Structure 1
Amino acid sequence: MKKEIKPNTLAMPTPVWCVGTYDKDDKPNVMTIAWGGICCSTPPMLTVSLRKATYTYGAIMERGVYTVSIPSAKYVVEADYFGIASGKDTDKFSATGLTPVRSTVVDAPYVDEFPLIFECKVVETVELGLHTQFVGEILGIKADENVLNEKGRPMMDAVDCFTFSPTTREYLGLGDVVGKSFSIGKKFLK
């Protein structure tokens, strides 16, 4: 029997993404978020949701662009810090020793040490309550060569990305492959 749970943000898994922006003084900043995902195939788009109170919110509103840097598990401490410190009064790159790189596609920085980067231009902003959702068209993707397969596509196991568990407030690595998508379910097709 299922138990009723009060509506909350308990969906899982949620990504650990680091959103890069420049502030009004051109200082690079990065913020970790968990409320985000792919939201359109054609054109390719991804969305991030931020509270208005965040420093990153103002930077996205001002410049209309952002990057998403996906950290590997070896940078879990830095990614956590990016989510708990404010860029308003902290240089997060200096504090962690990580490297901001100016995107050549959008006017925003990304984290050089992170293996997978998405460069996005805001195409829609949706006020949702406490959060504002920024829908960004993916204008560019950068990936370390060592995380690409023979077809030039990023591999999750090579990126070594991890997720955030909203129920336990922990970061979790990804497990083994459990099946081939768009294939294993074909046994039910008639």
Structure 2
Amino acid sequence: MKKSLGPNTLAQPAPVWAVGSYDEEGKPNAMIAAWGGICGSDPACLTVSVRPSRHTYKGILKHKAFTVSVSSAPLAAEADFLGMASGGNVDKFAVTGLTPVKAEFVDAPYIEEFPLVIECELKETVDLNVHVMFVGEIKDVKCDEDKLADGKYPDPEKVLPLIFSPGTRSYHTVGEKVGRGFDLGKKFLKKG
């Protein structure tokens, strides 16, 4: 029997994405956002939701760009700190030892040490009351070469992306491959 948990943000899992932007003075900043995901494929787009009170918010609006740096499990403490401190009060890169790198295709920084990076141009904003959802058109994806499968796609077992469980407020990573998409379900095609 399933127990009702009411209307809540308990979708599993949530990403641990470091949203990078230059602030209004041009200083590199990054914050952790768990409210985000892919939202379109032509053009390729993703979303991240940010509260207007966050330091990152004004930087994204000013520069019309942001990056998403996907943290790996070994850098969980650094990623967690990015969500605990405000870039308006502290230089998060100096404190954590992480390295900001100017993105190639958009006016925003990414985090060198995080293995997967997505460069986004701000396409649209949607006011969701407490948060504003930024829709970013993906201009480029970069991945550490040693984290690729077949030399062309990020391999989750190598990237070890950090994921978040909102209810328990705990970090996890992905497990083993279960099977191939659009292959496992073929056994039901004959029945349908």
Secondary structure of the residue aligned to 1:24 is coil
Secondary structure of the residue aligned to 2:83 is helix
Q: Which residue of 2 aligns with 1:118?
A: 118
Deviations, residues 141-190 of structure 1 (Å, cap 9, x unaligned): 11111111224111111111121001110001211112221111111113
Aligned-residue RMSD, C-alpha: 0.9
- In structure 1, C-alpha distance between the alignment counterparts of 2:3 and 2:118, rounded to whole Å: 39
The answer to whether structure 1 residue 86 and structure 2 residue 114 are counterparts is: no
Secondary structure of the residue aligned to 1:77 is helix
- In structure 1, C-alpha distance between the alignment counterparts of 2:94 and 2:29, rounded to whole Å: 10
Q: Which residue of 2 aligns with 1:17?
A: 17
Q: Which residue of 1 aligns with 2:41?
A: 41
Amino acid in structure 1 at the alignment position of 2:171? Y
Extract structure 1 runs of 4+ deviating beyond 4 A. Answer: none
- In structure 2, C-alpha distance between the alignment counterparts of 1:33 and 1:58, rounded to whole Å: 15
- In structure 2, C-alpha distance between the alignment counterparts of 1:176 and 1:148, rounded to whole Å: 16
- In structure 2, C-alpha distance between the alignment counterparts of 1:69 and 1:52, rounded to whole Å: 21
Q: Which residue of 1 aligns with 2:131?
A: 131
Q: Say if 2:100 and 2:110, in contact at 8 Å, map to a contact too.
A: yes
- In structure 2, C-alpha distance between the alignment counterparts of 1:93 and 1:4, rounded to whole Å: 41
Q: Which residue of 1 aligns with 2:75?
A: 75
Secondary structure of the residue aligned to 2:172 is strand
Deviations, residues 9-66 of structure 1 (Å, cap 9, x unaligned): 0111100000000012110000011000000011111110011110011111111100
Amino acid in structure 1 at the alignment position of 2:46? L
CA shift for structure 1 position 106: 0.6
CA shift for structure 1 position 2: 2.1
TM-score (norm 1): 0.97
Q: Which residue of 2 aligns with 1:175?
A: 175
Q: Which residue of 2 aligns with 1:54?
A: 54
Q: Which residue of 1 aligns with 2:63?
A: 63
- In structure 1, C-alpha distance between the alignment counterparts of 2:185 and 2:141, rounded to whole Å: 31
Amino acid in structure 2 at the alignment position of 1:116? L
Secondary structure of the residue aligned to 2:123 is strand
- In structure 1, C-alpha distance between the alignment counterparts of 2:82 and 2:54, rounded to whole Å: 12
- In structure 2, C-alpha distance between the alignment counterparts of 1:87 and 1:42, rounded to whole Å: 33
Q: Percent identity between the aligned chains?
A: 53
- In structure 2, C-alpha distance between the alignment counterparts of 1:3 and 1:112, rounded to whole Å: 43
Amino acid in structure 2 at the alignment position of 1:40? G
- In structure 1, C-alpha distance between the alignment counterparts of 2:37 and 2:69, rounded to whole Å: 13
Q: Say if 2:29 and 2:91, in contact at 8 Å, map to a contact too.
A: yes
Alignment: residue pair count: 190
Secondary structure of the residue aligned to 1:25 is coil
